[in-house]
Amino acid sequence: MNIMKTSLKFLFVSVLAVYTMSCEEQYPPTNLANNHIIPKPASVVATHGTFVLDKDAVIFYDSGNEDLKKNAGYLAGLLRPSTGFVIETKATSQNPGDGIYLTTGADKDSLLGEGGYELVISEKQVKISSPHPDGVFYGIQTVRQLLPADIESKDDTTREKWFLPTGRIRDWPEYQHRGAMLDVSRHFFGVETVKRFIDYLALYKFNVLHLHLSDDQGWRIEIESWPNLARHGGSTEVGGGEGGYYTKDDYKEIVEYAADHHITVIPEIDMPGHTNAALASYPELNCDGKARELYTGTKVGFSTLCTDKEIVYEFVDDVVREISELTPGPWFHIGGDESHSTDHDDYVRFVNRAREIVNSYGKKVIGWDEIAHADVNSEDVVQFWARENNALQGVKKGARVIMSPSSHAYMDIKYDSTTVLGLTWAGLTEVDDAYNWDPVALVDGIEKIDIIGVEAPLWTETIESLDDIEYMTFPRLPGYAEIGWTATENRFWEDYKVRLGKQKERFETMDVNYYKSPLVPWQDEEDIFIDEQKEGEVK
């Protein structure tokens, strides 16, 4: 009897679900204002109609614009697996009036800036315009999030029609630098894993991937003039695993994949501390001329390059030159943190010379907040992670700041005391703590104008796999995206947590291993549509 009842109930729920998903009046909601886009757009106006995407869709782009052509190909590729549609992309010299239309022919619009976009959805057309292809790419991510979660499916869903609510979104980023850092030194992650990480960044409109390429436990990039760095220094990792490193071709592949997703790679070679892997690979980098043993533990602060030796600066020069040649972005990160075994004056001298070397290869310097002790200037960026005084000193010398407060923005810090992965030295960072901070309110004396943006680092002492990366990253990552993109006055945890909860099915369709924080009202899409329909009935 009970089995009968359960089966009937199951049948009823299934029929309701199929009905809800297939009936055009109910799915989708036609109210663009009911979106759950992360990061939250600057302005949304709903016009309560529906655009239908089907197999006859065409993606148009401005003729002669190679970047938009790429964006069009990216969008067609994004839609291909789950829709099964082979969507044509076509150059056009004027607004075609229908289809999906990507254009940089927007009126010059000071609000949008380079990263902003306008998305106008009518019953006939989806038009994404921006002064710059970056903005068009962000508009594409917004369209992606307006479609149901199974747009992320790797398999053909056999759904014949996909719907978008009509209206207008005008949207632009609060900060120009919106990044995440992946430590590939403590544990090494191959090219495919890094690409997956880039996919996640792109979905939330990040534009920077900072790769922490060297540390005590491993050197992770081939340097032709110092081959033992990767060969020996990259041969292990925390816990004694086999480690690994990127060949130059691997690194180029990452940089190109990132660029295709409108993301700039910032390479970091951490120095003069955090250098045991290099010190183990070349004895001449040590003051005593003796190579160190490889290190597979997790202590910090015990290693230093010998700052008195000229050969050390030849090493730095070769490394910066070879990596800069492969890096189209403007930045080179010199680390500089926790050099506890370097005498203060030696540290300052070293950082000053490293800065000159980086500049000589046409790159600008970023370093952790300790580099503010050296002669930083308005060309340099100090990445605040620990000491407010350092960041403030950097600003007083003219440098600008990236905000990565370890108390909020470190994705390797445990969510709560039961989290198995991660560390606790910076406290615990639940999803609300990760979201509830304002870059401008962190350090007295540092103003908005001093801050280029925010970055969320993922250190990997305890992180060994893509599953681990995902678990610590999701669901904090979308929150960091919103801090970087959305103006503080438009951000509220109570509103954000609802939008985050509605990402549940997207995470699950993408096969993302995420932390189901009890603070977030996780919600299936079917329930969302039913709720929104009820809301519609009441109105």
Distance CA 413, CA 423 (A): 5
Instruction: Between 171 and 268, name the residue whose CB sits nearer to ligand ACM.
Output: 268
The active-site residue out of 253, 284, 314, 338 is: 338
Judge whether 455 counts as a catalytic residue.
Answer: no
Residue whose CB is less far from ligand ACM, 71 or 214: 214
Q: Determine how many CB atoms are found less than 10 A away from the CB of residue 190.
A: 12
Q: Determine contact, residues 207/259, Cβ cutoff 8 Å.
A: no
| Shortest CB 370 distance to ligand ACM, Å | 9
Q: Which of 67, 338, 508, 532 binds ligand ACM (CB under 6 A)?
A: 338
Among 201, 333, 217, 215, smallest CA distance to 254 is for: 201
What span, in angstroms and rounded, lies between the C-alpha atoms of 146 and 149? Answer: 9
* In the complex, minimum distance from the CB of residue 368 to ligand ACM, in angstroms, rounded to a whole number: 5
DSSP H/E element including 229: helix 228-231
CA distances from 255 to 140, 202, 243, 268 (A): 21, 14, 21, 14
Least distance CB 337 / ligand ACM (angstroms)? 4
Closest-approach residue to ligand ACM (CB): 337
Least separation in angstroms between CB 232 and ligand ACM: 24
Shortest distance (Å) from residue 341 CB to ligand ACM: 14
Q: Which is nearer to ligand ACM, 423 or 498 (CB)?
A: 423
- What secondary structure letter does DSSP report for 423? B
Minimum CB distance to ligand ACM smaller for 137 or for 385: 385
Q: Which of residues 243-272 bind ligand ACM (CB under 6 A)?
A: none
Q: Which is nearer to ligand ACM, 368 or 415 (CB)?
A: 368
Least gap, CB of 385 to ligand ACM (angstroms): 4
In contact, 440 and 420? CB cutoff 8 Å: no
- Minimum separation from the CB atom of position 538 to ligand ACM (A): 50
Distance CA 127, CA 123 (A): 11
**C-alpha Rg value of the chain to the nearest Å:** 25
Q: Which is nearer to ligand ACM, 282 or 385 (CB)?
A: 385
Distance between CA 183 and CA 80 in Å, rounded? Answer: 32
Alpha-helical regions (H) of 288-381:
310-325, 344-360
User: In terms of CB distance, is 21 or 300 closer to ligand ACM?
Assistant: 300
- From 167, 245, 262, 163, select the one nearest 211 (Cα to Cα): 245
Distance of alpha carbon 458 from alpha carbon 241, whole angstroms: 19
Instruction: Please report, as a single letter, which amino acid is at residue 308.
Output: D
Size of the site for ligand ACM (CB under 6 A): 4
What is the distance between the alpha carbons of residues 369 and 316, in angstroms, rounded to a whole number? Answer: 20
Binding mask 284-303 for ligand ACM (x = CB under 6 A): --------------------
Nearer to ligand ACM, 186 or 491 (CB): 186
Query: Among 117, 332, 385, 496, which residue sits at the site for ligand ACM (rule: CB under 6 A)?
Result: 385
User: Does position 347 bind ligand ACM by CB under 6 A?
Assistant: no
- Nearest distance, CB of residue 333 and ligand ACM, angstroms: 10
Cβ proximity to ligand ACM: between 186 and 261 the closer is 186
Does 384 sit near ligand ACM (CB under 6 A)?
A: no
For residue 35, give Cα distances in angstroms to 32, 203, 246, 310, 477: 6, 15, 40, 59, 19
Is 41 or 439 the residue whose CB approaches ligand ACM more closely? 439
Q: How far is the CB of 458 from ligand ACM (least distance, A)?
A: 11
Question: For residues 227 and 322, is the Cβ–Cβ distance under 8 A?
Answer: no
**Does 337 help bind ligand ACM (rule: CB under 6 A)?**
yes
| Alpha carbon distance 161, 150 (integer Å) | 12
Q: Give the one residue of 332, 368, 480, 496 binding ligand ACM; rule: CB under 6 A.
A: 368
Supply the DSSP string of 279-291, one letter for each residue. Answer: HHH-GGGSTTS-P
Residues 6+ apart with CB under 8 A from 7: none
Residues 6 or more apart in contact with residue 145 via CB below 8 angstroms: 35, 36, 37, 38, 203, 506
Pairing of strands 177-183, 451-458: parallel
Q: How far is the CB of 58 from ligand ACM (least distance, A)?
A: 48
Burial class (CB in 10 A: 0-12, 13-18, 19+), 451: buried
Any idea which residues carry the catalytic annotation? 338
Residues of this chain that interact with ligand ACM (CB under 6 A) are: 337-338, 368, 385
